[in-house]
Structure 1
Amino acid sequence: MNTNKITQAIGTIAILGMSVPALAADQSGWYLGGSGGQAHATIAEQEIIADLLASGYQTLDFSTDRKDFGYKLFVGYQFNPNFAIESGYFDLGSFEYVATTNPPGTKTGSLTFSGWNLDLVGTMPLTERAALIGRFGVHEGKTNTQFVGTGAVNVLNPSHRNTGFDFKAGVGYQYQISDAWTFRIEAERFRMDDAVGNNGDIDLFSMGIIYRFGTNRKAPIVVAPPPPAPTPAPVPPVTATEQYCSALEIQFEIGQESIERVNREHLLVLATFMSTYPETKATIEGHTDNVGTHADNQILSEQRAQSVVDYLVREHRIAANRLTVVGHGETRPIADNSTVSGQQANRRINAIIDCANDMAGLSTLPARTTLAMALEFDSNSTAVDAKYHYQLENVAKYLHANPDLIVTLEGHTDNVNPATALEISQRRAQNVANYLVDNFHVDRSRLNVEGFGATRRDTYNITASHRQDNRRVNIILGYPK
């Protein structure tokens, strides 16, 4: 048996990704994978016919089975988003031919090929989730070749085995389904020795899946408002003044115009500033992502800006004539709308606020520090995953250390049945509250539970990962009921 020569160019693709910008998510660490598909070998028909003729046999018919199922199992380590190393076991199946001869008889040959490999893998990103891959490596291959003769054909040595090192190379495409799971398609070529003196190649065209370890770890997030702009040092004369300015940026959930608890502290800073300087005015600008029609996004951006104005007037007694509403719709994005994080960044409010001059030494009240945390749930599940035990213990410790604080637990769902969505979200929030009470002795009177069903999405429920992001309980500390 023999096969076509491999071109040296294939192996060079393995290092292309090393100089290309990395994917958005950090994928470093260990992973496991497996793939399977069709293996294909080229049978050296002319060489076999020539060998038979030299032994006194004329070949009347020559048939081959060049294809079989092949698979590989592997473990890898991702050093950075552009470079990894993989090692594993492969089995490329068996291949055979049957030659019918004169004098009457047949000669059947079969080959099996398996072994272990070690590859360098390079990645070249195409989008945030999709990438091309190239690999080059070595393998220890085990070849088993069997020959059977019938009729006039006599086989003196029917069995040949060989184990040796050789090289392999391949190219492919992969897509990151979620933080943990990656889908991969590949074409690989294995150089091999057929154990009877011929060198050749076997190609494997496969599809597979990869699981990455350590991608579900999430820690509590400390959310604090932007620090105020630095103020100039006071000037000694009494007539000297300092300039005080303020700015605001808050984000919205999908399709929402209401003010979330986590943003009320930011609005407190703005209200304190405007109350301290009654001559200042502010322009409140609303923005959206690009999902939906232009007209609907324009209306939604105006409604978001108006909700901020209404909140400042109602809760902080800021005069309405000091606040101007402007809606920009989707026309002023600050991030890429093709990504979930970019869409979320574009659903926002900006405030352009006058600067004020006053006597030296006057300052606005600082915002209170807040703590927020999000817990994710399996589909239709309300059980609190044990992996959040230590994070919830930290929340409990924070509450015990700050007895004046209370907690608001907000439950959410993805696009489940609307009739049960509200109930599921409320049960999720209530179960988190029970967990804090039962495991860490938090006073239940300090826990305020609310369910919002599927009305407040972080993402658009397009993929399994997006839906998981929407199945959550938000824990928000530092706000009165």
Structure 2
Amino acid sequence: MNKKLLCAAMLGGLAFAGAASAQEFDDRWYLTGSAGMNIQDNKRDSRDAPFLALGVGKFLNPNWSLDAELNYQKPKADRNQDLNWSQYGISLDARYHFLAEGRNWNPYVLMGLGYQRAEEEFDPSNPLLPARFTRNGAPSVQKDGHVAGKLGFGAQGDVGRVKIRTELAYRIDAHDDSVGAFLSDDVPRDDGADWFGDVLASVGVVVPLGPEPMVPVAPAPPPPPAPPVQEAPVPVTIDLRGVNFDFDKSTLRADSLAILNEALEILRRYPEVRVEVAGHTDLCGSDAYNQSLSERRARAVYDYMTSNGIDSSRLAGPIGYGESRPLEQTEQTQPGCRNERNRRTELNVQN
């Protein structure tokens, strides 16, 4: 058959889906919820307490995420646990995620800045308090708002529809007018504390909002015109442009399926055609790593075709060529080596 015309038909069918290919990371907004233990600074004169947090955020790129989060905890006063003591606030937290191919759990570091408010009920007759707090009568309440910073680390795991976070953070709380600071020992003092350091240990969930990004299925390409009577054989390579993979995955994404379905339709229409399934990478990383990566991704395309009715006798491979056949020569170091054209999967029509 005329392989040039076959190539034109396949590329025409794939062009629409390829143009709508999605980004290399999930940039949907998500909701977060977490629960854990707030290990209070000893100078607060309060007990450790559980805390809850709710937030919203999104990934700005494959590595950086940004969350806005509300938190609430209600520790008990150490000297009198019948007194009310509550603390709540808001923070803006940036996380840098250390991603790796094929790994479901990835560590991250955390940096945050926010505002905390404390409401401490106290007994004004306590002799350890300075004069400005003392008076006769019922318990009083000291309310104070202040800046708070956060540093920490954790790990985020992909368990399907939701993700799981485990985290340990240190919150620096600039609470400089705390009643508890004057009661943390038995010695009357004229000064309290300028800041407190609390440890936050938590487990939480990340729930993406909305459906996963999808691309519309392109209409079937028109049948190719009749081939000329004679034509010299030519090599044909069909670049599956748009068949992308998540940054740390070697499984097919939803937006790749429309493109592969077009290729399946062409192969069903021309049952005599045999193709080689080939994977390629860009020039980033070691030769051994890129060889393995190209083989895994070629295997994903091969398995999808055989599971959708294409007999394995019509498929050569899957074969990974690693970084050995770049379409464009680039540097071998970041960021110049990151080349979309070299990161590709191909179907090579066999004679």
Using the size of structure 2 for normalisation, the TM-score is: 0.51
Amino acid across the alignment from 2:109 = G
CA 1:200–1:346 in 2, change beyond 3 Å: closer, same or farther? farther
Residues 1:38 and 1:164: Cα distance change in structure 2 (over 3 Å): same
Output one character per residue of 1:231-272: Cα deviation in whole Å (capped at 9) or x when no partner.
Answer: xxx9xxxxx9723456899xxxxxxxxxx9984741543627
Which of 110, 115, 127 is 1:140 aligned to?
115
Per the alignment, residue 83 of structure 1 pairs with 64
Change (3 A) 1:190 1:264: closer
Partner of 1:156 in structure 2? Answer: 134
Q: Deviations over 1:365-414 (max 9, x none)?
A: xxxxxxxxxxxxxxxxxxxxxxxxxxxxxxxxxxxxxxxxxxxxxxxxxx
Gap regions ≥5 residues in structure 2: 1-22, 179-191, 240-260, 279-291, 307-311, 318-351
Write out aligned runs for 1:79-478 (5 A): 79-98=60-79, 111-128=85-102, 129-148=104-123, 156=134, 159-178=141-160, 180-192=161-173, 193=175, 195-196=177-178, 197-198=192-193, 199-222=195-218, 242-245=232-235, 263=264, 265-266=266-267, 268-269=269-270, 271=272, 335-336=295-296, 341=300, 344=303, 349-351=314-316
User: What amino acid is the match of 2:203?
Assistant: M
Cα distance, 1:195–1:36 mapped onto 2, change above 3 Å = same
User: Displacement of 1:334 after TM fit?
Assistant: 5.2
Would you tell me which structure has more helix in proportion to its own residues? 1
Shift of 1:25: 5.4
Q: Match of 2:90, as an amino acid?
A: W
Name the one with the larger strand percent: 1
Distance 2:299 2:86 in 1: 47
- Give per-residue Cα distances to partners, 1:137-175, cap 9 Å, x unaligned: 211110223333889888826542211112112211111
Query: Equivalent residue for 2:52?
Result: 71
Distance in structure 1 (CA, Å) of the matches to 2:231 and 2:126: 111
Please, what is the CA RMSD of the aligned residues?
4.6
> How far apart are residue 72 of structure 1 and its match?
0.8
Task: Give the structure-1-normalised TM-score.
Answer: 0.39
1:93 maps to a residue whose letter is K
* SS of residue matched to 2:272: helix
Percent of paired sites with the same residue: 16
Structure 1 residues 266 and 32 mapped into 2: Cα distance closer, same or farther (>3 Å)?
same
Please tell me whether the aligned partners of residues 39 and 92 of structure 1 are also in contact (alpha carbons under 8 angstroms): yes
Residue type of the partner of 1:163? G
Q: Distance in 2 between matches of 1:130 and 1:342?
A: 24
CA distance change for structure 1 residues 28 and 152 in 2, over 3 Å: closer, same or farther?
Answer: closer
State the distance in 2 between where 1:261 and 1:25 align.
Answer: 21
In 1, the alpha carbon distance for the partners of 2:201 and 2:111 equals: 16
Look up the SS of the partner of 1:195 in the other structure. coil
* Conserved? CA contact 2:277–2:302, under 8 Å: no
SS state at 2:270 partner: helix
8 Å CA contact 1:248–1:350 kept in 2: the answer is no
What SS does structure 2 have at the residue aligned with 1:44? helix
- Between the aligned partners of 1:333 and 1:123, the Cα distance in structure 2 is 21
Task: Confirm whether residue 30 of structure 1 aligns to residue 29 of structure 2.
Answer: yes
SS at match of 2:29: strand
Structure with bigger gyration radius: 1
Q: 1:244 to 1:71 in 2, by over 3 A?
A: same
SS in 1 for 2:267: helix
Q: Which amino acid aligns with 1:160?
A: Q
Alignment check: 8 A CA contact 2:220 2:262 kept: no
From the superposition, tell whether residues 132 and 343 of structure 1 become closer, same or farther in structure 2 (CA, over 3 Å).
farther
Q: How far apart, CA to CA, are the structure 2 residues paired with 1:162 and 1:41?
A: 17
Q: Which runs of 5+ in 1 are unaligned?
A: 1-23, 46-63, 99-105, 229-233, 235-239, 250-259, 273-281, 288-331, 353-481
- C-alpha contact (below 8 Å) 2:126/2:134 kept by paired residues: no
C-alpha change, 1:79 and 1:114, in structure 2 (3 Å) is same
